[in-house]
């Protein structure tokens, strides 16, 4: 009986384990993007954004198919400060998000949006596809479909 209780407690603890969420400023994110030596997709989302949470699973599935090409997906949360890190991490765990999670520690969209893309109005979901080696950069200020994500990754890898 004690062994069973021990395993149940361990299973519950593992299931409740927090997904790590890195706090980042826009300058640090900009630097990471600029120094990236592999294909990168930066997806801006929030826990309250239904279109964001609809597209993240197929971003993850599609990126997984290109793991041998080194494609990395980063999910950058734009949630309010009181959501960091517990609410974001718990939400991501419940949704099955496996990509690297960051929380943008910025509140002034007029400041951080143009640092990502000069045309970004601040709407989410938004995604940046970038490969510095191939000089590829494309920004989407809208939700993408799964075929669009696949097509964009193919373009990013072929140029």
| DSSP characters over 20-39 | P-EEE-HHHHHHHHHH--S-
Give the separation between CA 120 and CA 117, rounded to whole angstroms: 5
Query: What are 36-56's pLDDT values in tens digits?
Result: 999 999 999 999 999 999 999
pTM (two decimals): 0.88
Alpha helix (H) ranges present in the chain?
A: 2-15, 26-35, 50-65, 86-95, 109-116, 146-158
pLDDT tier for residue 96 given thresholds of 50, 70 and 90: very high
Give the mean pLDDT of the chain.
Answer: 91
Q: Average pLDDT, stretch 69-90?
A: 97
């Amino acid at each position: 009986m004690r062994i069973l209780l021990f395993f149940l407690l361990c299973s519950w603890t593992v299931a409740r384990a927090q997904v790590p969420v890195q706090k980042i400023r826009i300058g640090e994110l900009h630097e990471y993007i600029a120094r990236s030596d592999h294909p990168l997709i930066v997806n801006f989302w929030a826990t309250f954004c239904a279109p964001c949470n609809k597209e993240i699973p197929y971003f993850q599935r599609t990126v997984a198919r290109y793991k041998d090409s080194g494609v990395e997906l980063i999910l950058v949360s734009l949630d309010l400060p009181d959501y960091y890190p517990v609410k974001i991490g718990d939400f991501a765990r419940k949704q099955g998000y496996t990509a690297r999670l960051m929380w943008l520690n910025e509140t002034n969209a007029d400041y951080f949006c143009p640092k990502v893309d000069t045309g970004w109005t601040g709407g989410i979901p938004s995604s940046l596809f970038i490969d510095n080696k191939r000089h590829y950069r494309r920004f989407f200020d809208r939700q993408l479909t799964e075929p669009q994500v696949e097509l964009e990754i193919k373009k990013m890898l072929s140029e």
